[in-house]
Chains A and B, each alone.
Chain A
Amino acid sequence: MTLAAYQASFARMVLEPALAVRARAEGAAAFTDPALSEAERARLADVACQRGMRVTCVLARANRLSSLVAALPATCTLLKPELNALLDRFWGEQPMETLQALPAGLAFGRFLRDEIAAGRVAHPRAADVLLPELEELAERRAALTATAS
C-alpha cells in the first residue's frame, strides 16, 4: 500500500499548504507516514519545493471554494472578511469528499450554523443570511427523489 500512502501524502500537501511549507524547511522528514518508502518521501519533498506547488494549492482551494460559493453565495459574500479562517477550520474537521455544490454546501452550511451557535463567527448578521440559504439547500436536497440508483 505504499503507492496509496504516497498519494495520500501528496493530496494532503495540496489540501494543507502548511505541510508543503514544512516540507520545504524539513525535507523528507516532514512526511511521517510509516507506509512511505524513503524514495517516496524524497519524491514528495522534491515536489513540495517545486515552483508549481503553489499554483496547485491555489487551484485546489479555488475549486473547493467555488463549490461552496455556488451553494451559499450570499453567506460567502457576507462572511468574506473571516471566510478564510472559517474554511480552514471546516476543511480541517471535514475533508471534502465531493466538489458537488449541493452536498458540499449543505455540509459547510451546517458547519457554519454550529459555529454561529458557538459564537465563533464575528459577523452579527451571519445567521440571518445563512439560515434561509441553508434551508433552501435542504429543500432542494429533499426534493431529489427522482431516479435513485
Chain B
Amino acid sequence: MNFARLKALPSLGVGLLLNPHTLESAQDEPAWDYLEIIPDRFWIDDGLRAAPRHHELAPSVAALDELAARVPVVAHSIGLSIGSASVFDTGHLDQVARWQRRYGFPWHSDHLAFTRVAEHETEANAAVTLPLTRDEESLELLVARIDAVAARVDAPFLLENNVSFVAPPGETFTEAGFLNELCRRSDCGLLLDLHNVLVNARAHGFRAEALLDELDLRHVVELHIAGGDELAGFYTDSHAGPVAPEVWPLLERTLRAAPWVRAITFEYHESHAAVLGPLGVEGELRRAREIRERCC
C-alpha cells in the first residue's frame, strides 16, 4: 500500500453504517460525522447478462442524496466477491465507479472472501462470506483483482477482514500474516472489523489482541465496531444491538497503535433498532468518539 496516499485521506471521525432505520430516523443534527452505505442496497441488479442491468431504487436514492449533501459518505459494497476464482464482475465495479463519481467517496471497500461461484451457465451465491485459503495462490489472485479494481474505480480501495467459523487446513499464512502480505504486495488498505476479530478469536481459540499485535496497523484506514449473539453454539457477527463489551478495549488498543485510522463505523442491524433506540445509537457513537479523542 502507498502509505503517502493513506496519510492524505480525510479524517472522517465516527460514523454509522446506514440501514433502513437510520434513513427513517435521520435528524437535522445527527450524532454521526459521516455515513457508510452499502451501495448494492440502492439498486436492483438483474445479473451479468441483463441490459440494462442496474435499476436504482429512486426513493432510497433520493433520501441518500439528501443525506450526502450534509455529511460525507463512504461506500462498503457486498457484491464483488473478490476472491471468487470463477467470477470477476467488472459490471458491478463499473456501477461502483459510477457511484464513486456521483458521491465522491473518499474511499470504497468490500469483503475479503468469496460468495459467488460459477455453475455451468449460471451462478450461485453462497449467502455467506466464505474464507479464502490463506496461501500463495489466493494472494496472487487477490493482488491481480485489486489492480483491476484500482483501474476501474478512482478511489483508494479497502478490504475487510472476514469472519469464518471454519479454517481450511494447510494454510501457509496466519490471518494477520496474510493481511500484511496482501497489503504489502498490493495497493489495498484495510477496513479492520474489530468485532470480526473477536468472533474469529472465539471461534478458533486465539486471543484477539495477539492478532492485533501481529497485524501491520499502518494499513488500517477504517475500523468497524459492532455486536453479536449466539447461534448454533457459536458467537456470531449478527450486528445485534450495542457494541460488544470486548470490542471497546480492542478499539482503544488499535487506535493507540494504528497511525492513520480515518474512520470508526458502528454497525447494527435494523432489526435491533428498537432495542438500541436513537439514544442507544448516540451512546455508542459518543463512546467511540471519546476513545478516539483519548487515543489519537
Contact = CB atoms under 8 A, between A and B. Distances in A.
Nearest to A91: B124
Interface string A128-149: 0000000000000100111111
Interface string B198-214: 00000100000000000
A7 B114 contact: yes
Contact of B45 (A51, A98, A145): A98
Given A46-B168, A103-B44, A149-B98, A7 B130 contact: yes
Contacts of A141: 44
Contacts of A95: 119, 122-125
B72 to A, nearest CB: 23
Chain B interface size, as a band, is 35 or more
A1 interface: yes
Give the interface residue-count category, chain A.
Answer: 35 or more
A7 B124 contact: no
B167 interface: yes
A54 interface: yes
Interface stretch (B46-54, B151-159, B215-223, B288-296): B46-54
A144 B57 contact: yes
A47 B168 contact: yes
Contacts of B165: 50-53, 55-56
Given A8-B117, A59-B128, A99-B125, A149 B52 contact: yes
A11 B45 contact: no
Contact of A7 (B46, B53, B117, B236): B117
A15 to B, nearest CB: 6
Contacts of B94: 149
A59 B236 contact: yes
B121 to A, nearest CB: 11
A60 B127 contact: yes
Nearest to B41: A100
A56 B47 contact: no
A146 B126 contact: no
A43 B164 CA distance: 15
B168 A149 contact: no
Contacts of A146: 55-58, 61
Given A51-B233, A97-B47, A15 B130 contact: no
Given A56-B128, A98-B125, A146-B55, A43 B170 contact: yes
Contacts of A145: 55
A63 B128 contact: yes
A7 B88 CA distance: 14
A3 B141 contact: yes
A117 interface: no
B95 interface: yes
B3 interface: no
B245 interface: no
Given A3-B137, A3-B141, A15 B236 contact: no
A133 B155 CA distance: 41
Given A8-B86, A8-B119, A98-B45, A43 B168 contact: yes
B226 to A, nearest CB: 15
A58 B231 contact: yes
B274 interface: no
Contact of A63 (B127, B130, B137): B127
Residue of B83, B114, B137, B165 with most partner-chain A CB within 10 A? B165
Contacts of A118: none
17 contacts: A1-B85, A1-B86, A3-B137, A8-B86, A54-B232, A55-B231, A56-B166, A59-B236, A60-B126, A63-B127, A64-B127, A97-B125, A98-B45, A100-B40, A144-B57, A147-B55, A149-B53
Interface of A: 1, 3-4, 6-8, 10-12, 14-15, 39, 42-43, 46-47, 50-56, 58-61, 63-64, 95-100, 102-103, 141, 144-149
Considering the complex of A and B, which 6 residue pairs feature the smallest CB-CB distances, nearest first?
Answer: A52-B165, A148-B52, A95-B124, A4-B86, A4-B85, A3-B85
